[in-house]
Each structure stands twice: as C-alpha cells, then as structure tokens.
Amino acid sequence: DLDFDGDAELIIAAIEDSSGYPPYVVALGLSDSAATVLWDVELDKGSHPSDPAFAKTGDSTGYVLLTTIKDTTGAMWVWKLDHEDGEPIWGGQSLGTTYSGSEEFPHIRLPGPVIVNLDGEPELEMILTVPTDNDGHGSSDGAEFIGMEISDGTTLWSFDASNGFADAPPVTIDTDEDGQHDRVCWVTWSEENLGWNRYGYAGCHDVDGPSPDQAWQNNLARDGGNQNDGIAVSPPTWMEIDGSGDPELVVAYGRAVWAYDGDDGTVSGIWQDDSNPISVDHRTWSAPALADVDGDATLDLVIGNTVISHALADLRPLLDYRGISFSPSQPDPGQSFEVIASFENAGTAVTEDGGAIEAKLYANGQLIGTLPADESGSMEPVDPTGNGNARTFTASLENGYPVGEHVFELVLDPESSVLQSRRDNDAQSVSLSIVPRYNATFEIPTEPIRVTPGGSAFATPIVRSTGRLAGTWSLTVDDAGLPEGWSVFDETVGGLLGVEIDVDEVWTPHLRIDAPADALGSDTGHLGLTLTLDEDPENVSASASLPVEANRTRGLSLRGPDGTGSSTGYGLLGTDAQAWMLLHNLGNANEVISFTWLNTSWGHIGIYDMNGAEQPALSLSAGEVKLLTARLEVPSNAALGDSVSTPLTMCVGGNEACQTISLTFEASGVVTDVHQRSVPASGLNWEVRADMPPSAVSQLSWSLSDADMARQGWSWSASGDLSIVGDSLVMSGTPGSLASGTLTLDLPDGAFPAFHSFSDASDQSADHVIRLSLEVLQIRRASIV
C-alpha cells in the first residue's frame, strides 16, 4: 500500500530483454479495469534487479527496497526508494562485493531483501542476499547474507553459507516468539564438471548473539530429474511438524521435499518415512505455500501442483449439518420416525487397521443408536484423496417424540481409539422442532378492554396458526363472563366460522363490546374465546379469556395475571402462598388506596410489594401501576390441594370507586416464583421449590410439552436441584426433604406479546403440580430517517 489509502499497489523490478538497458522499478495503481503508472525509476547501477520489497516505517513513511548486481563482476548495490514518487533515498549504496570466478549472475533470480526485526526495537531491519560463491564447488566460500538497518544502512552482521550460490532468499524464524527474528535459514547450490554435477545445501544460523553462529548444515540430493533440477530456486520455509523444540525447516530441492529438525538439522523421525525426503514428480523451483488445503486442521505444504499433507485419517459427520437427517423430515408428535447418521473419512489416510470405529447417536442426551460392529472396520478417505464413501446407520424411534425442540447428536470415536489429524469435528448436533400438524394460539394482552358506560369498544384478539399445516378454524365467543347488561357482537368480515389460517399467519376477529348506560365503574368481566379445528373440533382447540372492564375517569383497575379479577397463590406447607396482582390508578390525580378483605380459616392476608416489603397503606400517583402480592400462610397441617378464598376490595375517594379481586390460596407440593411480565429477553428466572414426597421418591418430573412450555424458539434451562432431560423437567432430592432449583427462559427477540400460563402434574405425584405464568409485553419502537 504505497499511498496508505487501504488499497494495494503493484511494484515490478524488471529489465529489457535485450542487453544494454538499465534495470527499472515501476509502481502501478490497480483498478478493476486497468493498471496505471504511478511512478517509474531507472536504476543506473547494476545489470539485474532483485525482487523488490516494501517496508512501512511510520504513519507516513515507507520505502521500496531492492538490490542490483552486475552480471559479470558480482558487484552489488542496495536501493531505498521513497514510496510516494520512487525518488532514491539511497542512490545505489555499494555492498562492496566482488566476484573472481567465470560465472555470470544471477543464474535464475536475484533474491530480494527480507524485511525483519532483528533487535526487538520498533525500527525494521532487512536481510540482503549476495548470491556469489568465489570458489565454485569448493567449501571455503558460499553465498553471503547481510543484516542491515533500513533507517541508515548500518550493517549489523553478515555470514557466509557453507557453500554454494544463492538463487533463493532466506527465511527468518522467531524461535522464542519474543518479536525478534533470531534465526536465518538458507538454501544454496553448487556445480562441478561444467554443470554436469550439481549439489544443494541447507542450513540455519542463529543471529541473536554478537555474531551469527551456524546451528547446523546439511547437503541435499536432487533425487532424479535433469541437471537444472539441481539449481536451488525454491526458498525454504518453516513449520512445526514434530511438536517439540524449534520449528522444522522445509526445503524443496530437485524433485524432493526435505524436512529438518529445527534443533539439530537431523532428518530422522520428521517424515514418517524415517530419513528420506518426499519425492515429487516435477522440478521444485516454485516457492512453497502453507495452508490447510484439505480441512483437517493441520497445515499442508503446496509446492508447484502438488499438495503434501499429513497422512492421517479424519472422521467427521457430513458437512452442512447433513450428518443427521430424519425420515420423515418433519414428524408429527408421537409419530414414529428414523434418525439417519452419516459420516466420512475426510483425511488423507485409511483409518488404522484394528482400530474399530465407534459412532454413537444421542437424542436429548440419551443414547438411541450405535454403529453396528460389522460396519466398524477401516475407512478409506473420500475424494479428493481417495475413493471412500460415507458410512451410515439408523436409529428408529417407534413412539416418536412430543411437541418441542429435540437435540440429536452424532459422536464419532468417543474413546479416541482411531489416530486422527483432528478431533474437534468428531461431533455434530442438530435440532428437530416437532410441532402439531394443526395448532393455534391466542395473543391477547392482559390489559382489559375498557368500555365507557353507554358506549362500545372493539376487541381484536390475535389468533396465530402455529402448526405445521394450514387449517380451517371456527371461533366460539362465550359472553357468560360479562357484567350484567353487557353484550358482544361479531363484526368480523367473513364471520367467525370456517376461517382458513396459513402457517405462522394471523387472523384477527373484530368483536364489538357494548356497555349499558348504567354500567357501574366497578364492572369487570371477560369473554371466553374457544377456537376449534373444523375437521377435528374434539381434539384440536385453543381457548383464552379476554378481560373487559368499565372505563372510568376516576378509579382503579385491580386484576390478576391473566387480566381478569382473580388470582391464585400456591404455597408449601408452613410457608406463604402468594397471589400476584396488578393495581392501576386510572385517574388523573394522586390517590390514597383503602382496602378490605374477609378473614379466612387460615388467618389474615397481607399485602406486599415485589421486593417483599409489607404495604400497610397504599398510595398511587396519577396513572401509576404497582405490582403486588397478597400473602397468606399455609397451615403446616393442611392437606395438599386444600384451599381458601377471599375477596379483596380496593377503593379510592372514600369508597367512591372500588375494585374487587377474588383471591384463592392453595396448599401445594411444589411452588414457583409469582407471575412475570417482560419484553422479549434472556435470563428470565423462576425459583422452583418442592417438598419431596416422603415415600421412596427421589425425583419429580414434569413434561415440558404437556405444560405447553415447549415452544419454537424458546430456550429453557435449569440449575440447582432442577434439570432438563429431553422433554422432562426433573427435580431431584432426598425423599421428605426440600429441593430447590432455578428455571431460566431465554425468549427469542421476536416473541409475540401475549399471556402464557403453564402447568403440569408430576408423573410421580398428582399433588405436585408445577405452575408458572408469563406475560410477554409488546415492544414499541420508532425511528425517523
């Protein structure tokens, strides 16, 4: 990025094909359609340029760096060009090199500067390659490598390779990962008998001390091919292969790839074939590249058109969540279906002989199937490495599963008995959402429909189709719960019968509610709504209550969780039962609230806020809403299921405007926190406490689907003595003792506003019924753009 604008530019160092022309450096701007010349510079020293390099040395400074060489004398110069216009900062700084032999340079290429950090300081350095070898095949001289400061051209150090010419740049390694490159590795070559015999050399020098020190050096054989294969053009690279000590050096030379131990340069034990290199079928002049080409989480070496991988198996479920499938793909609740598990060997080798492949299939944490023993033999890798195929096995679920989200998991090689390149892809999980073929729900807020005496108001409850298939439905409206003299009329276009609702679509009936002129301010009631499927009205239905009350300019609204004038609290023996209430001052002035109730056989009730503070007196500002609980202690000698009831009346203005709610308190073997109201959010918690039955029962379980808690997109979790196993909510504890846990709900962002009530009796005890309720509130957002 020469101009620091975030887009890359191209730098080319070149010469004319005919002799006599000086080297040029050209900077090109790149676009989708063409390249444009940004600047070009003629280099007046040397006959051939090296590969160019770029170093950004500050927020606004950068340099193009390269060397040139005179082909007949071996004299060399280093160039530092300004990034903006190519102006030479160093107009060819001499490296003081000479060559006394008969060779001309470069042979194939002149290696360019390697940008590095050699001293741990912010300023960058570079390593230059002098390719000449003055004594030819003799071992007293070799190519030279120079460490130099980019800032001022100061030479930090230099060393000679053990022998040979250099047509490849060195590679640098930060062996201790401290940000300073402390090792330089190189590859060179030599010839004798007029090129009939050519030899390669590779080695490493440690450069973190006062002077470079050779760590090791090895000779290379070209492993076949012709004489030109013996010219070392491919630069070395490094990678961690054996998992110990310094990184290994990988060298491509001739028609072979060598790997040397980073500590001492030995070959034994690095490749699987002991001390021999890996042979390839072409000349290795191209630079190597490291990448995970086959997806086995280990690096592969790409050299020319050949990919060299670790020869290891890699078992994995089929990608894109195809490792687990279902037949039929969308089973109905309780319908039998099959789960098909599929996996493959995506590695580069056959699984080891004698290592039986183990595969297990789970549903909701329970084992439902395993790979048959006669199919657990070795597996060939699939394309592109081999011609193997995927392996499958099936688990049949004869009784199907209930409504809800069910998690299926395929686990491969759980005991790690198969040698693999990776294990993080040995498992795959898929969720199956089982919904009824036909189902519908009401989405009704608990805020009552308020009707002014002598007037009317429209109720527009939302009915949503939540089943797998579209259905035809009919709605029945029961007005028995309305106050005396109130009436309801259907004004829905098309009426209430034979209404087809598509999947996940809504239908909104329009119900007009009329209040008589003499309606009292204390009038409250509700409409009973029942929706039935026309083709199976006896078995497929949904019901809801729609609260209504008189509209008042001064008064109160006092209601329970579902918006009607009733609330029930449940308590363990010897503890308080809590009935939830919402109190709303409907007037436009502050009010002091008086309240009265009738005594019960269990004693007196108390009024508390949601923080547990008792409220002996209440006052509300205009329009204020308070959430309260009425509490009553359950006698220790009560029988589970016993209950008492009392009316609670609250008034304003000296009994001018009053509202009454019917409270029921019941002894229960299990209780949850009171009703919650929340916008769609995560982390909604209910504390669940249970008196475990005194008999030898250490677990109580409830069905999430039977409790109507298994809803698409809703995520339930549990902690403490409470757990979720498949479709079951399980409380564990000592018989006759108290057990407790926390039930947590994460709602999806798109949860619809509605009141939800959940309940189910325990499979172990009919007196242990879990009950909880939630109102999802509507989110109102707006923006102007």
The label of the residue with tokens 């013996």 reads 230
The per-residue DSSP string of 748-783 comes to -TTPPSEEEEEEEE-SS-TT-EEEEEEEEPPP----
Domains of the chain: 315-434 (2.60.40.10), 440-550 (2.60.40.10), 556-668 (2.60.40.10), 676-776 (2.60.40.1510)
Does residue 102 register a pLDDT over 60? yes
Assigned token pair, 17: 């094909």
Question: How confident is residue 236, by pLDDT bands cut at 50, 70 and 90?
Answer: very high
Q: How many CB atoms lie within 10 A of CB 406?
A: 18
pLDDT of 124-182, one tens digit each? Answer: 999 999 999 877 767 778 999 999 999 999 999 999 999 999 999 999 999 888 889 99
Q: What is the mean pLDDT of residues 191-220?
A: 88
Query: How high is the pLDDT of residue 376?
Result: 81
Among residues 576, 700, 567, which one has the least CA distance to residue 633? 576
Q: Is the distance from CB of 538 to CB of 635 less than 8 angstroms?
A: no
Task: Give the full edge-to-edge strand order of the sheet including 183-192.
Answer: 171-173, 183-192, 197-206, 213-220
CA distance 262 to 278: 18
Give a three-class secondary structure readout of 731-746: EECCCCCEEEEEEEEE
* Amino acid, res. 112: G
Among residues 698, 700, 712, which one has the least CA distance to residue 432? 712
Q: Is the distance from CB of 629 to CB of 608 less than 8 angstroms?
A: yes
Q: How many CB atoms lie within 10 A of CB 692?
A: 24
Give a three-class secondary structure readout of 76-123: EEEEEEECCCCCEEEEEEECCCCCCCCCCCCCCCCCCCEEECCCCCCC
- Lowest model confidence (mean pLDDT) among 122-131, 236-245, 447-456: 236-245
Local structure of 228: helix, strand or coil? helix
Measuring CA to CA, how many Å separate 115 from each of 57, 66, 128, 275, 369? 11, 11, 9, 33, 57
71 contacts: CB under 8 Å, gap ≥ 6: 47, 48, 104, 105, 106
| β-pair partners for 536 | none
pLDDT of 659-700, one tens digit each? Answer: 999 999 999 999 999 999 999 999 999 999 999 998 878 999
Compute CA 331 distance to the chain's CA centroid, rounded to the nearest angstrom: 28
Q: How many CB atoms lie within 10 A of CB 741?
A: 21
From the number of C-beta atoms within 10 Å of its C-beta (0-12, 13-18, 19+), residue 206 rates as middle
Question: How confident is residue 354, by pLDDT bands cut at 50, 70 and 90?
Answer: low
Q: Is the distance from CB of 507 to CB of 499 less than 8 angstroms?
A: yes
CA distance 659 to 656: 10
Please give the span between the terminal C-alpha atoms of the chain, in angstroms, as a whole number: 37
Q: Residue 202 half-sphere exposure, CB side, CA atoms within 13 Å?
A: 30
Does residue 266 register a pLDDT over 90? no
Which range of 40-54, 512-526, 698-712 scores highest in mean pLDDT? It is: 40-54
Question: How confident is residue 656, by pLDDT bands cut at 50, 70 and 90?
Answer: confident
Phi, psi of 127 (to 5 degrees): -115, 125
The label of the residue with tokens 């887009």 reads 7
CA distance 357 to 359: 7
Query: How high is the pLDDT of residue 264?
Result: 87
Handedness of CA 630, 631, 632, 638 (dihedral sign): positive
Please, what's the largest Cα pairwise distance for the chain?
Answer: 123
CA distance 376 to 536: 48
Q: What is the DSSP letter of 480?
A: T
Local structure of 667: helix, strand or coil? strand
Phi, psi of 229 (to 5 degrees): -65, -15
Among residues 118, 319, 282, 320, which one has the least CA distance to residue 209? 118
The label of the residue with tokens 């074939």 reads 273
Does residue 216 register a pLDDT over 90? yes
CA geometry: angle 184, 185, 188, nearest 5 deg = 130
Assigned token pair, 626: 């308070």
Question: How confident is residue 596, by pLDDT bands cut at 50, 70 and 90?
Answer: very high
Query: How high is the pLDDT of residue 727?
Result: 86
The per-residue DSSP string of 116-148 comes to E-SSSSSS-EEEEEE---TTTT-TT-B-EEEEE
Q: How many CB atoms lie within 10 A of CB 328?
A: 10
pLDDT of 364-409, one tens digit each? Answer: 999 999 998 888 888 999 988 889 999 999 999 999 998 888 999 9
- Please state, rounded to an integer, the average pLDDT across all residues of the chain: 91
Query: How high is the pLDDT of residue 353?
Result: 60
Q: How many CB atoms lie within 10 A of CB 610?
A: 11
From the number of C-beta atoms within 10 Å of its C-beta (0-12, 13-18, 19+), residue 549 rates as buried
Q: What is the DSSP letter of 229?
A: G
Compute CA 341 distance to the chain's CA centroid, rounded to the nearest angstrom: 23
Question: How confident is residue 271, by pLDDT bands cut at 50, 70 and 90?
Answer: low
Does residue 436 register a pLDDT over 70? yes
Does residue 195 register a pLDDT over 70? no
Local structure of 227: helix, strand or coil? helix
CA geometry: angle 752, 755, 761, nearest 5 deg = 120
Q: Say what percent of the chain tops pLDDT 90.
A: 69
Assigned token pair, 483: 């106050």
Q: Residue 186 half-sphere exposure, CB side, CA atoms within 13 Å?
A: 32
Q: Is the distance from CB of 496 to CB of 477 less than 8 angstroms?
A: yes
72-101 as b/e: b if 16+ CB within 10 A: ebbbbbbbbbbbeebebeeebbebebebee
CA distance 479 to 661: 19
Local structure of 230: helix, strand or coil? helix
The per-residue DSSP string of 366-406 comes to EEEEE--GGG-S-----TTT-----EEEEEEETT---SEEE
Q: Is the distance from CB of 350 to CB of 382 less than 8 angstroms?
A: no
Query: How high is the pLDDT of residue 603?
Result: 94
CA distance 586 to 566: 19
Among residues 777, 590, 768, 625, which one has the least CA distance to residue 695? 768
Q: Are strands 9-14 and 24-30 parallel, antiparallel or unpaired?
A: antiparallel
Q: What is the mean pLDDT of residues 219-226?
A: 82
pLDDT of 736-770, one tens digit each? Answer: 999 999 999 999 988 889 999 999 999 899 999 99
Does residue 781 register a pLDDT over 70? no
